[in-house]
Chain A
Amino acid sequence: MDSPTRYCRYLRGKNAYGTLEGGDKPFLNFDPATTTYWCLHTMGPVGPDSQPAHLTTCGNDKRKCFAVPKEREEL
């Protein structure tokens, strides 16, 4: 079953609450205006496809760099 909250496993974020991790588990997006995102691969705010790393873009499995969350891979 498709989870409505599924993000690339390499997506990371940080806001006042703490560090956020991608993957199948729900992503703690408390405060979009002050959350910074980055991609583990580039360790910068862009993905390997040179586009922004963000919650609204890194759940897109059509993106060529999208990596299936680990939990899903094991299914």
Chain B
Amino acid sequence: MANPNKKKIVLPVAPDNQAHGPVKHLHSKKVKLPYGVPGHGLTEMEREVSIDEPPPLPINEKLNVVGKRTKRADAIYKVTGTAKYTSDIQLPGMLYGKFLRSPHPHARIKSLDVSAARRYPGVHAVHVLKMEPGGSVERDSGHDAPAETYNIEELPLLRYVGQPIAAVAAESQYIADEAARLIKVEYETRPFVLELDKARQKGAPIVFEKVIEDEGNEGDVGVTAAEDQEGNLRGPSTGSFLGGPRGDVEKAFAEADFVLEREFRTQVQTHCCLETHGVVADWQPDMLTVYASTQNTAGVRDDLAELFGLPKSKVRVITEYMGGGFGSKFGAGHYGVMATILSKKAGRPVKLMLSREEEHISAGNRPNSHQMLKMGFKNDGKITAIDLTSYGTAGVGLGAGVGRIAQDMYECPNFRTAQYDVFTHAGPGAAFRAPGNVQGVFSVEQMIDEAAERLGLDPLKYRDVIDKHEVRKLMRLKGAEAFGWEYKKPGSDPGPIKRGFGMAQGQWTRFINLNSSATVRINKDGSVAVMSSVQDIGTGTKTILAQVVAEELGLAAEDITVKIGDTLYPDGPGSGGSVTAGSITPAVRNAAYKAKMDLLGQVAGAWDVEIGDLEMKNGDVYSRSDSSKKMSFGEAVKKMRTNQIMATASRPDDYGGFEIGNGIGYGRLGSVQFAEVLVDTETGFIKVERVVAAHSCGRPLNPMQVESQINGGVIMGVGYALYEDRILDLNTGHQINANLDQYKLPYSKEIPKIETVIIEHYGAFSSTDASGIGEPANIPTAGAIANAVYNAIGVRLYELPMTPQKVLTALGVS
């Protein structure tokens, strides 16, 4: 285990702080913003903000466009198939790429010969990945090139099935697939380890044999990094940006009235984006253009500019439509870099979209977990101590922690965690919809239910005792009302098919990405456009941007043209961490406000009135004081002195500043979900009949889209709870269900009736006061289902997914 004498490396927490502090304003003003929940003691909060900030936006009820159920801006293009996703892009002369990947979980390449692939008719470029500083060495294309030999020392050590080795670009996908198979490789296979428990044992095959000595990089604040590595074990990580251990855990356990100690296990889940990871890369002498299925256009641009030594201005990344991204579509990706190299070599555009199998084995996953959770309680319900040790494997990667639920959701003065990463010979993990917190809820929320039962309390009411989050309290109240919550004795149904009710709650941090900018352009013909590199990954970003601009300019959402997902426009945030709505909409509103002020200034000049006297509403521009002065927006823009007005704005700091660094906001996004299940005790079959999901995302900009995202989160949670599981063959290291047939996602009949409860909650944080919903929607579902299953059968399941096999085993009928 960790060497206690070794110098601890302390990593900075949010060191962004040191680079730039909060922004100071020459002129500021005091404004009063709505604060709290309408109908539940809504008040106002006074904030000091920059003089440039637009006036406070009233609550949704008083608005025309924002907060209203608004049809998706691009719905018609999606349902008619005219929307062009990356996988639909066709360019003149475009080639298709295909990877050759490792068939072994641990092997050294003994020899590699690409000559047959290169000679195959229709092949234009072949590239072999080499492990040398300075990057991959390119080779000329040419069909009659002699057999190439490689210094095997330069070729990568293969550490998982699916690790990329080389790739080809050819005139059709079939040719490329066939040519990739013609690359001849001889392997020297080595022992490997796939299982979390076995990888930790003495004598297990080692994934990374020699350990780099940690050196340098010492910050002055923060938490201890996961720096210690022994064998395949790395860590532990003992804290997060919310801090490290607190109190005296051992003392608190000793003083507790009762202590619960349980083990929980969660599986590896793969992202299963409907559109697989991939790009079309078009290398031209003056510009590299990349169509990418990405959650972060600007990030892809930055990666490629850095790697290929190009100025950022000469890399353009476009994501007009995106077929799903849940955390793994960040950065250029191995496919993006390879496609760019192949395009550069071949002098033609190259499309490289991963196959479904490649998607499962090489594009990331949610790491599994083995959690040992111990909690102490007082007889009045108070939690005295929480101790959470976890092991998880992100394969050859890191980041298998179980999040901040145990640390942060309930009040508890004594807390300690040790979260270990375990290396295995499997594909690398990636961020996945609320990394860690989904795993964390599964353990913590089941234990809270166990404690409630021990205390003789309704688990819902028990949470009122221990949870101080005010908005979540309201969610419990309203959610329980919608659900018709009534606590039922576990396992009390007669007959083999038993009904159960359960609930669980979740928490997510309000992250803000300040590098979020947008331009609003008003044209003299009356058209209005909003532009940013921010992408709509299917969540409805385009629509909310149109709504925000329309509200500000007194227009309708469909009057606004949304041009996003293109790095030619101002940088927007990456769409991960549920940051998009909260980060980009204030920038967009502020840009719209600036443009509006510019326009009103010109109208005011023409009418000879004060700007402050003018208002834009319902498609008109008018004077508040003189009702004779009124014209339509279309007329007003004719007063413009230039053909267009353009204004750009960036996300200001949160009103009232940040809790931590420059991006972690005050307040947590809470969530509460209720599940009703039927468990067939004779077949082990679980059916989730109904879920009520109560959520808050600050100001809901478009309730219809919020509902849609919650639906998606719940469905994904159902899959995680009952079906999804990456199954590796322990003898060969292959994922044997690397498809959508045997890797089981929820289909129509597996999707419960979902009812959403949206709490409109104002925090006075920004000019739109919006927050995200993507991750909160997914966090509590599996926990709620697990509690409902227990309520149905009276036997608790500690392991995901809850398959018929596990139910039957738990019931002891096997």
* A and B held together in a complex: yes
Residues of A at the B interface (CB closer than 8 Å) are 4-7, 9-10, 12, 14-19, 21, 25-38, 40-46, 48-52, 54-57, 59-65, 67, 70
Q: Is B296 an interface residue (CB 8 A)?
A: yes
Known contacts A31-B240, A64-B133; 4 further A-B pairs (Cβ under 8 A): A31-B241, A33-B402, A35-B398, A60-B216
Q: Mark B224-237, 1 if CB is under 8 A from A, else 0.
A: 01110000000101
> Which 3 pairs of residues, A with B, have the shortest CB-CB distance?
A33-B401, A43-B334, A26-B15
A42 touches B237 (CB 8 A): no
Q: How far is the CB of B606 from chain A (nearest CB, A)?
A: 45
A14 touches B11 (CB 8 A): no
A43's nearest neighbour on chain B, judged by CB, is B334
Task: Compute how far the CA of A55 lies from the CA of B364 in the bound complex, rounded to whole angstroms.
Answer: 19
Which residues from chain B contact A46 at a C-beta distance below 8 Å? 156, 159, 208, 396
Residues of B at the A interface (CB closer than 8 Å) are 9, 11-16, 18-19, 129, 131-136, 156-157, 159, 163-164, 208, 210, 212-220, 222-223, 225-227, 235, 237, 240-241, 296, 299, 302-303, 306-307, 327, 330-334, 336-338, 364, 394, 396-404, 419, 428-431, 434-436, 509, 511, 513, 573-574, 576-577, 579, 661, 663-664, 775
Which residues from chain A contact B511 at a C-beta distance below 8 Å? 16-18
B214 touches A60 (CB 8 A): yes
Q: How far is the CB of A66 from chain B (nearest CB, A)?
A: 8
Partner among B220, B397, B573 whose Cβ is within 8 Å of the Cβ of A37? B397
Partner among B134, B156, B225, B331 whose Cβ is within 8 Å of the Cβ of A38? B331
Partner among A36, A41, A59, A60 whose Cβ is within 8 Å of the Cβ of B133? A41
Q: How far is the CB of B467 from chain A (nearest CB, A)?
A: 22
B399 touches A36 (CB 8 A): yes
A56 touches B214 (CB 8 A): yes
A65 touches B429 (CB 8 A): no
Task: Compute how far the CA of A37 lies from the CA of B330 in the bound complex, rounded to whole angstroms.
Answer: 11
B577 touches A16 (CB 8 A): yes
Task: Compute how far the CA of A10 lies from the CA of B299 in the bound complex, rounded to whole angstroms.
Answer: 13
Known: A29-B11, A34-B431, A41-B133. A19 touches B296 (CB 8 A): yes
Partner among A12, A28, A33, A65 whose Cβ is within 8 Å of the Cβ of B399? A33
Task: Compute how far the CA of A52 lies from the CA of B131 in the bound complex, rounded to whole angstroms.
Answer: 13
B364's nearest neighbour on chain A, judged by CB, is A36
A35 touches B240 (CB 8 A): no
A16 touches B576 (CB 8 A): yes
B218's nearest neighbour on chain A, judged by CB, is A4
Which residues from chain B contact A62 at a C-beta distance below 8 Å? 213, 215
Q: How far is the CB of A46 from chain B (nearest CB, A)?
A: 7
Q: How far is the CB of A74 from chain B (nearest CB, A)?
A: 13
Q: How many A-B residue pairs have CB under 8 A?
A: 213
A26 touches B216 (CB 8 A): no
Q: How far is the CB of A12 from chain B (nearest CB, A)?
A: 6
B327 touches A34 (CB 8 A): no
Partner among B9, B333, B430 whose Cβ is within 8 Å of the Cβ of A43? B333
Task: Compute how far the CA of A71 lies from the CA of B706 in the bound complex, rounded to whole angstroms.
Answer: 42
A56 touches B574 (CB 8 A): no
A19 touches B574 (CB 8 A): yes
B11 touches A55 (CB 8 A): yes
Which residues from chain B contact A33 at a C-beta distance below 8 Å? 226, 235, 237, 240, 399-403, 419, 436
Task: Compute how far the CA of A56 lies from the CA of B187 in the bound complex, rounded to whole angstroms.
Answer: 32
Task: Compute how far the CA of A62 lies from the CA of B216 in the bound complex, rounded to whole angstroms.
Answer: 10
B133 touches A55 (CB 8 A): no
Q: How far is the CB of A2 from chain B (nearest CB, A)?
A: 8
A7's nearest neighbour on chain B, judged by CB, is B217
Which residues from chain A contact B513 at a C-beta distance below 8 Å? 17-18
Which residues from chain A contact B12 at a C-beta distance below 8 Å? 5, 26-27, 29
Task: Compute how far the CA of A6 lies from the CA of B18 in the bound complex, rounded to whole angstroms.
Answer: 13
Partner among A27, A28, A61 whose Cβ is within 8 Å of the Cβ of B216? A61
Which residues from chain A contact B134 at a C-beta distance below 8 Å? 41
26 contacts between A and B (CB under 8 A): A5-B217, A6-B216, A14-B430, A15-B435, A16-B576, A16-B577, A18-B511, A18-B513, A18-B573, A26-B19, A31-B401, A33-B402, A35-B398, A36-B364, A36-B394, A36-B397, A36-B431, A44-B334, A44-B396, A44-B428, A45-B428, A46-B156, A49-B133, A51-B212, A56-B226, A59-B215
Q: How far is the CB of B165 from chain A (nearest CB, A)?
A: 12
Which residues from chain A contact B14 at a C-beta distance below 8 Å? 28, 30
A51 touches B208 (CB 8 A): yes
Which residues from chain B contact A52 at a C-beta distance below 8 Å? 208, 212, 398
Known: A4-B217, A45-B396. A10 touches B307 (CB 8 A): yes
Which residues from chain B contact A70 at a C-beta distance below 8 Å? 306
Known: A29-B12, A48-B131. A36 touches B398 (CB 8 A): yes
Which residues from chain A contact B296 at a C-beta distance below 8 Å? 18-19
A21's nearest neighbour on chain B, judged by CB, is B302
Task: Compute how far the CA of A33 lies from the CA of B391 in the bound complex, rounded to whole angstroms.
Answer: 11
Which residues from chain B contact A59 at a C-beta distance below 8 Å? 215-217
Known: A16-B576, A19-B330, A33-B237. A67 touches B133 (CB 8 A): yes
Task: Compute how far the CA of A55 lies from the CA of B303 in the bound complex, rounded to whole angstroms.
Answer: 17
Which residues from chain A contact B397 at a C-beta distance below 8 Å? 36-38, 45
Partner among A32, A40, A45, A64 whose Cβ is within 8 Å of the Cβ of B307? A40
Which residues from chain A contact B225 at a C-beta distance below 8 Å? 29, 32, 55-56
A33's nearest neighbour on chain B, judged by CB, is B401
B431 touches A50 (CB 8 A): no
A46's nearest neighbour on chain B, judged by CB, is B396
Which residues from chain B contact A12 at a C-beta distance below 8 Å? 303, 331
A55 touches B223 (CB 8 A): no
Partner among B15, B213, B337, B664 whose Cβ is within 8 Å of the Cβ of A5? B15
Which residues from chain B contact A35 at a C-beta distance below 8 Å? 398-399
B210 touches A43 (CB 8 A): no
A25 touches B19 (CB 8 A): yes
A40's nearest neighbour on chain B, judged by CB, is B307
Which residues from chain A contact B664 at a C-beta distance below 8 Å? 17, 30
B132 touches A48 (CB 8 A): yes
Task: Compute how far the CA of A8 lies from the CA of B422 in the bound complex, rounded to whole angstroms.
Answer: 24
A70's nearest neighbour on chain B, judged by CB, is B306
Partner among B216, B237, B327, B332 whose Cβ is within 8 Å of the Cβ of A14? B327
Partner among A7, A42, A51 whose Cβ is within 8 Å of the Cβ of B210? A51
Which residues from chain A contact B396 at a C-beta distance below 8 Å? 44-46
Q: How far is the CB of A69 from chain B (nearest CB, A)?
A: 10
Which residues from chain A contact B156 at a C-beta distance below 8 Å? 42, 46, 50
Known: A18-B511, A18-B513, A30-B664. A42 touches B131 (CB 8 A): yes
Q: How far is the CB of B199 from chain A (nearest CB, A)?
A: 15
Q: How far is the CB of B525 from chain A (nearest CB, A)?
A: 37
Task: Compute how far the CA of A26 lies from the CA of B399 in the bound complex, rounded to whole angstroms.
Answer: 20
Which residues from chain A contact B163 at a C-beta distance below 8 Å? 44
B296's nearest neighbour on chain A, judged by CB, is A19
Which residues from chain A contact B434 at a C-beta distance below 8 Å? 16
